[in-house]
Amino acid sequence: MKFFRTLSGRFLVLTTLFVMLAEVLIFVPSVARFRESFLLLRLERAQIASLALLTGEMLDPALEAELLRNAGVYNVVLHRDTTRQLALSSPVPWPVQKTFDLRVTGGAELIRDALIRLATPQNEMIRVMGLPVREGGIAIEVTMETADLRRAMLEYGRNIFFLSLVISLISAGMLFLVARSSIVRPIQRVVGAMQSYAAAPEDARRIIAPASNVTELREAEDALKSMQRELTHALKQKERLAQLGAAVAKISHDLRNILTVAQLMADRMEQSADPAVQRTAPKLVGSITRAVNLCEGALAFGKAEEPAPKLNRFALGDLARDVLDGERLAAGEKPIRFSETVPDGMVMRADAEQLHRVLSNLVRNARQVIAATGRQGAVVIEAREEEEDWAIIVTDTGPGLPEKAREHLFTPFQGGVRKGGAGLGLAIAQELVRGHGGSLKLLDTGARGTRFIIRLPKGGREA
């Protein structure tokens, strides 16, 4: 049934079973005590029946048989001092099979004998010994059948079973109602809140409002609320970034076409004989070139993914010098020194064009940060070949990265390291390095400068 698959149904069943188990553990010693009481009652009746001998008169056989029948025994033997006296007697249908002395029987023996009696359906003849009441002698013993004893024990067991069942159902029902109100319903409320939130995670109104009085459930609701808030914020931010990225890609596409025309016109202006134009034209060309590069970077990042790297062997020193020469020209008269310490003849296997873009982004960022300070500085490209990969370190002597930039260093549109930056350079560089199966990380940054390290594995995959 579907009900018993629920937490409430299983709780009800388990509670009933556990209460029944507790009742069984109580039933075993109680039925043993019932057997003992039954036998003691027979001894007491037999003792009362034997009091007729105190009159000193001979008993009529019919009266003696009636007394024994009322006592439920076949004969009664009294132990007085050292004598053993047969008080009442009648013919015993078959021999005595077992003897039980209640004077020396402990609790474990009582439980064992009771269970054996319940498991033995045959009617047996037994001898039972015990202490007489009111100091009626040293001991009393009777001979009796076990049929009535077993029948009484079974009836007592049935009564106990039905009583235990009623108690179990009442207890389970009460616990079920309490658990349902204090545990199941709060859990159902949390599940309902999760389902409602999953239907529209952008809707902040569907975030759960913790209201449980149970400590553990309240902690779960608080954790769920915090997770839902973070997820809603992340989804909204991702949606805004997607919209912003689409808008930037469209604008960059059209702006690149416009700037291309402007760049051609600026190239012609450089050929002018006017001194003022000759002084202005290079700066104009440089600004337009940077704007075109920015548009191309935005468009490249806006693609679904970068193309797979085309792995070839090339001299890293030549590529590093080419990157530094370009940035040296872009620096112009700025007091920035560019250098490389790549071992002679160091050859690596990667996509040279993509690695050029990565190093250009890192060196350009370093140049722009140093230039913004107006002080002297240096940018250095180092490289070394290790056992499993190639390591390239780009170091600058700039002022270091601010805390905000370090938090979102490789996040597009958020990790800009200079005022007015789009925050795409490092994001694009990291994506290109990852395409090689490598990593781009910030080693350290501070007042003395910043260091980035690129690691490219030697076992890179073929495109």
Q: What is the largest CA-CA distance in the chain?
A: 163
State the pLDDT confidence band at 64, using cuts at 50, 70 and 90: confident
pLDDT at 461 over 50: no
- Residue 123, pLDDT > 70, answer yes
At residue 420, the pLDDT reads: 42
pLDDT of res. 136:
64
Percent above pLDDT 70 for the chain: 80
Contact between 395 and 382 (Cβ < 8 Å): yes
Token pair belonging to 397: 């002597």
Q: Which strands make up the sheet holding 75-80, listed edge to edge?
A: 83-88, 75-80, 139-145, 125-130, 98-101
Asked if pLDDT for residue 313 goes beyond 90, the answer is yes
Q: Is 225 exposed, middle or buried (0-12, 13-18, 19+ CB in 10 A)?
A: middle
Q: How confident is the model at residue 463 (pLDDT cuts 50, 70, 90)?
A: very low
- 76, β-bridge pairs: 88, 142
Q: What is the pLDDT of residues 215-259, one digit of tens each?
A: 888 888 899 889 888 888 888 777 777 776 666 666 766 676 666
Return the structure tokens found at 13: 């069943």
What is the average per-residue pLDDT within 385-394? 93
Mean pLDDT of 67-78: 89
| pLDDT of res. 165 | 78
- Among the residue ranges 209-213, 278-282, 295-299, 342-346, the one predicted with the least confidence is 295-299
| pLDDT 10s digits, 390-431 | 999 999 999 988 887 777 787 765 545 554 444 667 888 888
The predicted pLDDT at position 252 comes to: 67
Between residues 336 and 286, the one the model is more confident about: 336
Least trusted range by pLDDT, from 125-134, 267-276, 336-345? 267-276
Token match 């250009």: residue? 360
Report, as an integer, the average pLDDT of 381-391: 93
CATH fold, domain 306-457, is Heat Shock Protein 90 (3.30.565)
Separation CA 325–CA 316 (nearest Å): 14
Q: What is the mean pLDDT of the chain?
A: 82
Range(s) within the chain of domains with CATH label 3.30.565.10: 306-457
Evaluate if residue 304 carries a pLDDT over 50: no
Low-confidence winner among 37-51, 123-137, 267-281, 361-375 (lowest mean pLDDT) = 267-281
Mean local confidence (pLDDT), 262-282 = 70
Per-residue pLDDT reduced to its tens digit, 137-172 = 788 999 999 999 999 999 998 888 888 778 877 877
Distance from C-alpha of 248 to C-alpha of 19, rounded to nearest angstrom:
69
Q: Provide the pLDDT for residue 18.
A: 79
Number of neighbours of residue 110 by Cβ within 10 angstroms: 19
Find the distance separating the first CA and the last CA of the chain, reported in whole Å: 57
What is the SS3 assignment for 100? strand
pLDDT of residue 290: 62
* 442 exposure class (CB count in 10 Å sphere: 0-12, 13-18, 19+): middle
The residue that leads in pLDDT, 321 or 274, is 321
The CA distance from 369 to 186, in Å, is 56
Choice among 203-207, 295-299, 398-402 with the minimum mean pLDDT: 295-299
**How many Å separate Cα 439 from the centre of its chain?**
31
Q: What is the band of 355 on the pLDDT scale with cuts at 50, 70, 90?
A: very high
Cα–Cα distance, 221 to 127 (Å, whole number): 69
- DSSP count for the chain of H helices, then E strands: 11, 12
Q: Find out whether 306 and 435 touch, Cβ atoms under 8 Å.
A: yes
Is 432 in a helix, a strand, or coil? helix
With H, G, I as helix, E, B as strand and everything else as coil, classify residue 169.
helix
CB atoms within 10 A of CB 71: 22
Distances in whole angstroms, Cα of residue 162 to Cα of each of 21, 29, 168, 332: 13, 17, 10, 101
Q: Is the pLDDT of residue 343 over 70?
A: yes
**CA angle, 336 as apex, 335 and 338 as ends, to 5°?**
145
Q: What angle do CA 223, 224, 230 make, to 5 degrees?
A: 90
pTM of the predicted structure, to 2 decimals = 0.44
Q: Where are the beta strands (DSSP E) in 22-74?
A: none
For residue 376, give the DSSP letter: -
Mean pLDDT of 320-336: 87
